[in-house]
Structures are given as C-alpha cells and as structure tokens.
Amino acid sequence: MATTKIIYGTAWKKERTTALVVSAVLHGFRAIDTACQPKHYREDLVGAALQILYDEHGIKREDLFLQTKFTSIDGQDQTQPLPYDPKTDIPTQIQSSIQTSLKNLRTTYLDSLVLHSPLRTLPQTLVAWRTLISLQDSGVVHKIGVSNTYDVAILEALEHDGGRRPDVVQNRWFEGNQWDNAVWAYCVKHGIQYQSFWTLSGSPTLLRHATIQSIASASGCTPAQALFRIAQLNGVTPLCGTTNEQHMDDALGAEKLDLDGVQAVVDDVLNIIRG
C-alpha cells in the first residue's frame, strides 16, 4: 500500500476500541497501531473491528497497515492475562506474543512489529531484535522497529551488533523531550520511518505559538493540522488517537495542506522545534 502518512493509535480506548477503529477507517485512516499489552490496549477488539470492516464494508486486510508491539514483562500488568510465559526465554516470549497478536488481529501477517521499548539490558534487547529479524525473514512480519528508544547508540547497536537497522522508530515527539531531535535526525538520515506520539497533546505551547497560529490562519486550517503537516513534511509520521470524528477528518486532511506559501513561517516553527 502507499506510504503511510498518519496512523490511528488505539492505546487507552478500552471497550470503545472496536467502534473507534471502525469509525477511523471509515473516515479514511488506513494504518492502525496497537500492542499485545492488555494493560493499555485491546488488540482483540482491533481484530473485531477489522472483521466488521471486512464483513460490512468490504475493506480487505491488504488495504490496511497493521502494526503491533511486543511488550516485555516490565511493561505488562501481571495481574492480567499475559500473551506469553515470562519464565521462558526472550525468543519464545516473542514467538508466543506474535501468535497471540495474529490471532487477536485475525490475520496471517503483520505489516510492522515493534519492540515496545528496549529490554532491561542491551544484550537482552539484541536477543529480542534478532528474533524480530528472524520473523521478518520468515515473511510473517514485513517491517520491524523499536519504540520508546531515545538513545541513538541503541539504534546503532541494533544495526551493527543486532544485524539490521530498524525500519521504524516510534517515540514521543513533543515539547517535553525537545522533540527527540537526535533520534529524529538519525531516522531521517537513514530512511527510517519516525512515528510520533504525543505530537499534539504534548505540545500545547507550540500549538498556541504565534507562528503556528499564523500558518493556520493563512492556510485555512487548524493549528493541529498545521503541526501535523509540518511533521509529515519533515520525516515524521504522526499517530492520532482522537475519539472525535471531526478531529479524525481534520487529521486526515492535514496531508492535503500546501504550506509552500508560508514556508518562511514554517521554517520559524522548525527552528523552535530544533532548538
């Protein structure tokens, strides 16, 4: 499918997950992010949504980009059913987790599988990474990546010690971490898809800034749309987890914005972001 410009995020949707994923896809989203982590995601209800979309609306599996995550035991709520036995070794945990994901999502393959975060040690992270590589080589996973990884040295280790550069990095990209400039730049340089979360909710000061406000006014869009489009034009694929249908339309509409006429102001925004 075409390059993904925006992704619908399903974290914290709980029992509303199915209805919201159906709504997001019918509004035009074609990429969905979830995780095999019952603590924050209902991956099974994403799968239920996909079934409804196929049965009632003719939207096929191959029309969608599905991304899920392997969450290590440190990120799991052990009072809830786990997708693997934590007493087994890391490769076995990942294999079990992906089988759970495939069952939950009612699919035979994943467009992307991401480590939800580095594991406790770099050697453990490399073991996990090599397991993702084997899954990619088998064809059951098309892209592999990491999330919550804010140290370029870890990304370099995945390539040089782990055997392969990530296809995807998914990180917070917001005011609170100075927009993750080092990792973002690394991803742009190496052609890695940099996916951002907390892009809007984490950047209220920027959204209120005169530069963003002037772009929105000149372009006939919302400040949120302006920031999403600036991100897209600079190597960032935003996640959008809105539960508001108008905001879904707004987020999807960002890709159509032409900001050439306000490039000088866009540059001002980038200067703020890049410090």
Q: How far apart are CA 83 and CA 92, in angstroms?
A: 11
Q: Give 159-172 pLDDT, tens digit per residue.
A: 999 999 999 999 99
Alpha carbon separation from 168 to 20, 111, 148, 196, 242 (Å, rounded) = 25, 11, 11, 11, 22
* Mean per-residue pLDDT over the chain, rounded: 97
Evaluate if residue 52 carries a pLDDT over 70. Answer: yes
pLDDT at residue 4, as a whole number: 85
pLDDT at residue 248, as a whole number: 98
Q: What is the pTM of this model?
A: 0.97
Q: Give 225-242 pLDDT, tens digit per residue.
A: 999 999 999 999 999 999
Q: Give 71-90 pLDDT, tens digit per residue.
A: 999 999 999 999 999 999 99
CA atoms 217, 194, 27, 174: torsion sign:
negative
Evaluate if residue 2 carries a pLDDT over 90. Answer: no
Evaluate if residue 1 carries a pLDDT over 80. Answer: no
Q: Give 242-254 pLDDT, tens digit per residue.
A: 999 999 999 999 9
Alpha carbon separation from 156 to 113, 126, 244, 260 (Å, rounded) = 19, 11, 39, 35
Q: Give 139-151 pLDDT, tens digit per residue.
A: 999 999 999 999 9
* pLDDT (average), residues 219-224: 97
* pLDDT (average), residues 81-109: 98
End-to-end CA gap in the chain: 35
Domain positions in the chain are 7-203+236-242
- How much helix, strand and coil, in percent to the nearest 5, is found in the chain? 55, 15, 35
Superfamily of domain 7-203+236-242: NADP-dependent oxidoreductase domain (3.20.20.100)
Residue 45 and residue 18 in contact, taking contact as beta carbons nearer than 8 Å:
yes
Region class of 180: left (phi > 0), else alpha (psi between -120 and 50), else beta: left
pLDDT at residue 71, as a whole number: 98
Extract the tokens encoding 134: 């084997």
| Of residues 192, 261, 184, 257, the one with CA closest to residue 227 | 257
Q: Give 178-200 pLDDT, tens digit per residue.
A: 999 999 999 999 999 999 999 99
